Amino acid sequence: QDLVFTKRLNASLFHQEQLVLVELSGIIDSDFLSKCENKCKILGIDTEKPILQVDSYVFAGEYEDTLGTCVIFEENVEHVDAEGNNKTVLKYKCHTMKKLSMTRTLLTEKKEGEENIG
């Protein structure tokens, strides 16, 4: 499963937006993204090991180089063609040679006095 997230950084003097390609591993139900309506929470996107929650799934990962260049397109449904079918047009959005590779993780409650485990 691949996701593309828009990361927005807001400050008083500037606005920056970045797309992040996310590759998810450890999912049994390949249709879960449409079921959860792509709602997610991400922690530490600017850190070496971000955490992602999509519905009840939790993922941990890190940034890595891709094999080749990944091209991201924007999908637009345009007017209906002569036969009454919707026409989907792909428009170039951006490209990247990095991805956020994430694996499904099970969380456990931290006991008092335990140290952080990587």
Beta strands in 44-118 (DSSP E): 51-54, 57-80, 86-104
d(CA 47, CA 66) in angstroms, rounded, equals 19
Q: How confident is the model at residue 10 (pLDDT cuts 50, 70, 90)?
A: low
Sorted by sequence, the CB contacts under 8 Å of residue 16 that are 6+ apart come out as: 8, 9
Q: In this structure, what token pair is assigned to residue 78?
A: 């345009």
98: containing domain: 2-104
Domain total in the chain: 1
CATH value at residue 6: 2.60.40
Does residue 100 belong to any structural domain of this protein? yes
Q: What pTM value is reported for the model?
A: 0.67
pLDDT above 70 coverage of the chain, percent: 78
Give the pLDDT score at 88: 83
Q: Which residue has the higher pLDDT, 116 or 78?
A: 78
With respect to residue 47, please indicate whether it lies within any of the assigned structural domains.
Answer: yes
Q: What is the pLDDT of residue 24?
A: 87
Q: Is the pLDDT of residue 3 over 60?
A: no
